[in-house]
Structure 1
C-alpha cells in the first residue's frame, strides 16, 4: 500500500511520524510532502523522514488562494509519479482535492473547529474526517469521532519518555520552578481577526511569573528587547521534555496547551475561539484553564497562573491527571493505523465493533 502524507505545519510531523514507522514496518510505502513552514522540515530531517518540498506558502487571503492552486498542482505532479493508494493529512485542502481528482481515498484528521475555510475546502473532497469526540462541530456523514487527542499520537507513554537532561540544558536547579510562555504569530488562515495578548499584558505576565519561577519564552515572532532575554534556547526537539518538567505552560497555543495537558503539566490558554479539546481538558480533567483574548480575561489568566504557581501541591496533583488521561483515551497512532488499513482490504468496510476502546460515529 502506498500512502502520501502532506505536512502543512510542524505539529503535523509529530502526528504522523509514529504512524509512518509502524506502517513501514508492516511493509507499506509512505511518502511525505511538506510545506516549508517554521520547523516542519527540520523535524522531518531530525526523524530521518524523506520528503518532497512544496514551498513556503503565502500570507494573506489572496496569497493563500494563489498558493492553494500551486499546492494542488504540485501535489498532482507528485501523485502522478508516486501513485498513492491513499492520502492522509491533518485538516488542509490540498491533498483531499488532489485525491478526489485521482479517485483515491483521503483520510483527514482535525481538532480545530474554527478553521471554517479549511472545512469548506477540505471536507467535500475527503473520504473520512476523524475528530476527537469532544469536537464541537458536526461535519456530517464523513465525520468519525474518537475518544482521544491528537497529541497522544506522539506523547502517549508508548512513544514518549521525558529526558531529565533538559534541566541541565535549561540550567534549572533541582526543585526550582519554571514556566514556559508561548506567544504565536496569528498568521494562520484560521487566525484572521485575532490579536492575542497585548504587549503590555505580555510584560505584566512575565513580570508576575518571574517572581515565582524561572520564565522561558518561546515565540513565533520577534520580541522586544526586555522580553527577548527570556527566550528559551534549547534544541528544537527538546521542547516536550521542557514542557513535561515545567510547572506551568502559559500562552496562546492550543496545541502546546494540550501537549502540556497530556504530559501532566497545567496550562493557561488564551484564544477567543477556544477548542473543543482544551474545553474538555478543563471540564473533564481540570488541567487546562481557558480564557478569551479580552482585556479582563488576560488579567484573569495572569491571576490564575500565579495561583497555580503558589500552590505547592499542584505539580504532584497534575501529574496524576496524566495517568487518568492516558487510561481514558485511545492511542491515536494505533487508531490511525487501524483506520488506514481498512483501505488495504479492497475498500471493504470493517465493522465499527472491530475496534476496541474507540467511540465511532459515522
Structure 2
C-alpha cells in the first residue's frame, strides 16, 4: 500500500510514529507531510521519520484559514505525485479534500466532540469529505455511518506498554536522582482554531501554583509560548522526544494542556488539569479518566487547582496508588497502533466488519493483524 499522513501537531507524531514503523516493516510505503509548528519537525527528525514540510504556524484566525487554504493546494499536489491508496490525518481538511479530489480513501481521526469548540470549523470542512471517521468509545458524539469507534485513547498509540518503556537516564539530563521528587507543569499557548474563546491558567494562577509546588518538590515548566523572565529558571532542560520519560517519573503533573494530561494519566502520574473546557460540555475522554479511572482531576479555576495539588502532595504513596489505578485502564483499553494497522491494511473489509460487529475489537489487537 501507499499511505500519506499529514501531521500538524506534536501529538500527531506520537499518534502515527509506531503505525509508520509497523507499516513500513510490513512492506508498505508511507509518505509524511508536516506543519512547522511547535516541535513537530523536531520530533520527526528525532525519530528518523522523513517528511516534506508543508505550511507554517501562523497566529490569529485569518492566518489559520489562509494557512489551511495553502496546505490544501500543497497536499493535493504532493498526493497527486505520490498516488497514495489512503490518506490519514487528525481532523485534517487537507487530507480529506485531497483524497476526495483524487478519488482516494481518507481516514480522519478525532477524539473530541465538535460541541466543545465555539467555532467547529475543522469539523465542518473536513468530515463531509472523509470516508472513515476514526474516534474513541469515550467520545460523546455520534458521527453517523462513517464512524468507527475504538476503545482506546490516541495517546495509547505511543504509550501502550507494548510500545513504551520509560528510560530513567532522563533524570540525569535534568540534574535529578531517582530519589528526587519533582513536579512537571505544562502551559499551552491557546492559539489553535479549537481554542478560540477558550483559556487556561492566568499568570496569577501560575505564580500561585509554582509557589505551592515548590514547598515540597522541584518544579519544571514546559511551555508552548515564551516564558516570563521570572519562570526561566524552571524551564525544562530535556529534548521533546524524552518528554514521556520525564513525565512518567514526575510526582505530579499540573497543566492547562489537553494531550499531556491524558499522557500523564496513562503513565501513572497524578494529573490536575485546568482550563475553560472543564464543565458540562467537557471532552468525553477527560470525563472518563476522572470518573471511571480516577487518574486525573479536572478543575475550572486556579483556586480549585491549588486545593487539589495540596491534597495530592500530602500523600506519601502517590505514585504507588496511581500505578494501581492505572491497571484497570490498561486491561480495558486497546493498543491503538495495532488497531490502526488492522483497519488500514484490511480496508474496506475492516470498516464493514467494525460497522457490523464493533464488539470484535475486544478479541484483542493480536487478532487484528498480529502486530507485536
Same topology, TM > 0.5: yes
Instruction: Tell me, in whole angstroms, the C-alpha distance in 2 between the residues paired with 1:150 and 1:174.
Output: 29
Which 10-residue stretch deviates more, 107-116 or 62-71? 107-116
Instruction: Tell me, in whole angstroms, the C-alpha distance in 1 between the residues paired with 2:54 and 2:170.
Output: 33
Q: What does residue 324 of structure 1 align with? A: 328
Check if 1:357 corresponds to 2:362: yes
Instruction: Sort the Cα spacing of 1:81 and 1:300 in 2 relative to 1 into closer, same or farther, 3 A.
Output: same
Q: Which runs of 5+ in 1 are unaligned?
A: none
- How far off is 1:344 after superposition? 6.9
Instruction: Tell me, in whole angstroms, the C-alpha distance in 2 between the residues paired with 1:67 and 1:235.
Output: 28
Q: What does residue 59 of structure 1 align with? A: 59
Q: What does residue 4 of structure 1 align with? A: 4
Instruction: Tell me, in whole angstroms, the C-alpha distance in 1 between the residues paired with 2:252 and 2:351.
Output: 46
Instruction: Tell me, in whole angstroms, the C-alpha distance in 1 between the residues paired with 2:272 and 2:128.
Output: 35
Q: 2:168 aligns with which of 152, 158, 164?
A: 164
Instruction: Tell me, in whole angstroms, the C-alpha distance in 1 between the residues paired with 2:283 and 2:214.
Output: 28
Counterpart secondary structure, 1:49: coil
Q: For 1:96-175, what aligned pairs fall within 5 Å after superposition?
A: 96-113=96-113, 114-115=116-117, 116-175=120-179
Instruction: Tell me, in whole angstroms, the C-alpha distance in 2 between the residues paired with 1:50 and 1:185.
Output: 27
Check if 1:284 corresponds to 2:292: yes
Instruction: Tell me, in whole angstroms, the C-alpha distance in 1 between the residues paired with 2:199 and 2:275.
Output: 9
Q: Is the 8 A contact 2:85 2:105 kept in 1?
A: yes
- How far off is 1:90 after superposition? 1.2
Q: Is the 8 A contact 1:100 1:126 kept in 2?
A: yes
User: What CA deviation, in whole Å up to 9, does each residue of 1:93-124 have, x standing for no partner?
Assistant: 11101111112111111112235221111110
Q: What does residue 368 of structure 2 align with? A: none
Q: Is the 8 A contact 2:88 2:108 kept in 1?
A: yes
Q: Is the 8 A contact 2:3 2:29 kept in 1?
A: yes
* Number of residue equivalences: 354
Q: What does residue 253 of structure 2 align with? A: 249
Q: What does residue 269 of structure 1 align with? A: 273
Q: TM-score, normalised by structure 2?
A: 0.91
Instruction: Sort the Cα spacing of 1:9 and 1:328 in 2 relative to 1 into closer, same or farther, 3 A.
Output: same
Q: What does residue 48 of structure 1 align with? A: 48
Check if 1:22 corresponds to 2:22: yes
CA RMSD in angstroms, aligned pairs only: 1.7
Instruction: Tell me, in whole angstroms, the C-alpha distance in 2 between the residues paired with 1:57 and 1:94.
Output: 15
Q: TM-score, normalised by structure 1?
A: 0.94
Q: Is the 8 A contact 1:146 1:358 kept in 2?
A: no
Instruction: Tell me, in whole angstroms, the C-alpha distance in 2 between the residues paired with 1:174 and 1:6.
Output: 38
User: What CA deviation, in whole Å up to 9, does each residue of 1:281-310 have, x standing for no partner?
Assistant: 000111110112xxxx21111110121111
Which 10-residue stretch deviates more, 54-63 or 180-189? 54-63
Which 10-residue stretch deviates more, 220-229 or 210-219? 220-229
